[in-house]
Structure 1
Amino acid sequence: MANVTSLLSTSNEPHTTDGAAPCYAAGAMTETKAAEAPRKRRRIGRGVLLVLLAAIVLLARPADRHLRAASLLLRFADEHAQGFLPEYGKHTLDESLTEVPSARGPVRARVYSPVGVANAPGVVIVHGVHRLAIDEPRLMRFARAIAASGVVVLTPEVKEIADYRIDAASIETLGAAAHSLRERLGDRPVGLMGMSFAGGLALRAASDGAFAKDIGFVVAIGAHHDMRRVLEFFKKNETSWPDGHKEALTAHPYGALVLLYSHVEALVPPADAAAARDAIRLWLWDDREASKAKLAELSAEARAKVEALLEGKADVPALIDEIAKHPEQALSVSPAGHLGELHAPVFLLHGATDSVIPASETQWLAHDVPPALLRASLVTPAVEHVELRGEPSLAQQWELVRFMAGVLDVAKE
């Protein structure tokens, strides 16, 4: 079964570690160079999930909401799935491009609407860190799977996230998208789903009084609680948990690259910043030749520093220390210190061995979200950051189905 983390995200550039399944940083998943991997996941997913669906039919009371959730997941895992159960709760769709008004101008967006569903609930799904943004194929497939279950989906294009930057300016875009969808649906609050760093930004938007009436629930997948602590994780390869214990975990270098891209001024002199940013961006896009051409525009000192970063040889702890000199930047994109202002139910999901944003961050979120609003918090070994980890057990898949069933329930409240 495709994991729920990947379902709620878009894609990013692939990086494989130690021969394992591809790992994707900063909230996204992309086409892997190993074409067999998606096919293998679909084969595993369809077979195991069909068994799980049969168990739900026999055992769950009531079964309706779990069937709807499991069918949604199966439709995403295998868009060609056939048969009675995969079609459960499926609606035909209308899709259209639109624009969302925002304080910074119109935002390109796409709407997925189930045909013939009166008073359908709505949800805004925020794409991950990827240049294709709302046109990323897996985001589109997931949006269709959600919409086919009877939910109107809006996917806004967040320019900072599409440019591999974690920026507080995105918070207003998320809130504006929720406001726009709420108006479209007759003044009914809508859900807001965000993946990885977008999950943290979604919680920030929901904590903003300007959008409190627009956001009816939040789903944060693999999200961060405090960016300062995430930076420390990349510096020390060590996680910090709410109960005070620390745990060694090797941080994925790609996540550090994305974070440092957002703070290139800590790496090179101001005169080299624009070209350095372009070189890193093109590298993230996997356009190595264009990246090298940009590197040639840099001063010798700046070129050496950027090349070391791209080749994984930079002194990352020293660079993070430079970023840490300006904590206001990290705080501006962190839910920490703001969650007391929440008014919407919250769902949290995280991969237990996530090496981009560690699972300890979701534990911090669960500790900080007002207890009455925390509907579900699931840390599971079934997922990595946004990718299937091995072959989930039936118990783990059942947990994911229950999680999604809870989301669908609150969407229809």
Structure 2
Amino acid sequence: MSGGNDDGRHPTSGPPPDQPPRIPLPRASVEDTGRPLPALADLGDPAPRDPAPRAAAPLVLEHRVLKALLGAWALAACSPEETAAVEEHLGDCGACADEARRLREAVGLLHPAESLDLDPALRARVLQGCLERRPPRIPVPEWASPYDAETARLDALLQDFGDAEWHAPVRLRWFEKDEPTSRRTTVAGVIAHLLTVDGLVAVALGLEDPMGEVAADRPTPAARTDAYWRASHFPPTRAVRAPWREQTHALVRTVAFTGGAGDAGGGAAGKLAVPYGDFELPLHDAMLDRAFECWVHAEDIADAVDYPYEPPSGSDLHQMVGLAARLLPTVLSARRRAGLAAPPPGRHLVPAGEPGRSLRLEIEGSGGGEWLIPLDSPAAVGSAEHEVAHVALDGAEFCRLAAGHVSPAEAAAGQVGDRAAIRDVLLAAASLSRM
């Protein structure tokens, strides 16, 4: 037989120059033919096999070859035999062991950034270390640093969110008329809420209102949020992160340029009034208020995506608690006028600057301290001599009470003294909350 093909060419000869090369078809497996498989004896292995496979003999490679494999070994790209040979060699060769360690460390730098649940005090420590080496030309005021820190922490939490996380359901909670109230939204909706309410501070500083024309006749935080949700793409999407982030940076830059960095009270710039519709706060308190809201809603977001989130650093938490303690006498007075709190004994107000009945608020843990809350008049002075009640709470727990996330009945860890005064102060703390 000639063994030639139909076209007369020899089977080992290639295709003509004007035709593409032929690609051989894959060979059929013996399992696909329907024929019985050959016995082990037919394959030249008559002896029974050991129950456990024998270890393959290690490769014997020259030093130059093993050194060339170190890069692939660091990337975990070697075969099992090569890996065994390299690791055996590293136990005998110090120079290659040092090189392998350096390569493994370099590979670690190639990994993408991962989300880390960092200590909230880490940012403050890093900044302090940097500022000790080179003071800033324009320092951020002390009363604005909590806002700077909390917005940075929330932004770090958001950086790796996918679409599923941005649309995760979140329930905003607060107290209204001494009753728990809630509103359902999404993670993106929470950031939109922060954007619109932070816009009140932006407008007071002369910056652009993120709501534009939608903000007309919308003076309160709740009204602004509702208007933004209705006017924008609803539910909001991850696109809301960029304007929120830019606005937080603009606020921090602006308060840094306006001065007052060396004055704990904020100086002239810190006393600039920020209207909230039915009340107003000086700028230094408004920035603390926005830091507090940012942390509270960051916890809401973290709970929605099942991620741990720590309270603020002790110094920042102390400032937030101090703001709530300073607001309590005014809120308590407003509740009395609305018939929601008991009038002071004798139905008379203590003159401004005079000591009156007081409640000692003791905050334990990080950010702790003690505050004497005047009970009879916002203008009165807290006095230890006129103390009628004592309440002890954890710092983060008190802030969650002021945020409307914890009921007054569940908040206090210790209560001593006038029960009516304690009840009125705890309810006043809960009424600090709002949407």
Q: TM-score range by the shorter chain?
A: under 0.3
When normalised by structure 2's length, the TM-score is 0.23
Q: Which has the higher contact order (CA 8 A, sep 6+)?
A: 1
* Higher CA-based Rg: 2
